[in-house]
Structure 1
Amino acid sequence: MKLVLNILLVLVLGGLVYGFYLQNLGDSNGQIIIGISVLVIAFVFMPLFIFHRYKNKNLKDFTFDNYRKELEEHRKKEDNN
């Protein structure tokens, strides 16, 4: 998966660079290539990256439940003083 993400990132960045190069030359296809590259980043690369990073994680570790409990306990202690 990591290899796929790296290859996809290089291809997308290459597409962006090539699109800006074409746009600088005055070719209207440069804007199309830039747009397709941005869409691939948003709808293909980013979901794959997020899936790869969080596939074996416990999502309860990323919530504010523990922080909320500590904040309530701290407030109770302040009210008692």
Structure 2
Amino acid sequence: MKYIITLILLASFGSIIYGFSILDEQMPLAHKYIGFGTVGIFLVAMPLFLISVSQGKKLKDYMLNEENIRKMRDQTLKKTDNQQGKD
């Protein structure tokens, strides 16, 4: 999956660079290359990357609910207590 994402990313950047290089001669075709490169990066490569990175992680750990708010408050209280003890 990592190699597919890298290939899509390189092809998209190549398309954008090629689009900018032919911008003076063939403007409509250049805009298509730039557009397809942008779509490749943001609508294909980025979602694939996010899916591959987030596999195996619990979404519940990243949601802001009462339990996680309490955990964060406890952690900040512990940090401030530790800092006050060092001073």
Taking structure 2 as the reference length, the TM-score comes to: 0.69
For residue 22 of structure 2, give the secondary structure of its aligned residue in structure 1: helix
> Is 1:52 the counterpart of 2:52 in the alignment?
yes
Aligned to 1:27: 26
Mind listing any 5+ residue stretches in structure 2 that lack a counterpart?
A: 77-87
Deviation of 1:67 after TM superposition, in Å, equals: 4.5
Deviation of 1:57 after TM superposition, in Å, equals: 1.0
Tell me how many residue pairs correspond in the alignment. 72
Mind listing any 5+ residue stretches in structure 1 that lack a counterpart?
A: 75-81
Deviation of 1:63 after TM superposition, in Å, equals: 2.1
Deviation of 1:54 after TM superposition, in Å, equals: 0.3
C-alpha offsets along residues 20-69 of structure 1, whole Å, 9 cap, x if unaligned?
1111x331211111011111222211111110110111112222335522
Taking structure 1 as the reference length, the TM-score comes to: 0.74
Deviation of 1:10 after TM superposition, in Å, equals: 0.7
Alignment RMSD: 2.1
Percent of aligned pairs with the same residue? 26
Q: For residues 14 and 31 of structure 1, what CA distance do their matches in structure 2 show?
A: 14
Deviation of 1:3 after TM superposition, in Å, equals: 0.7
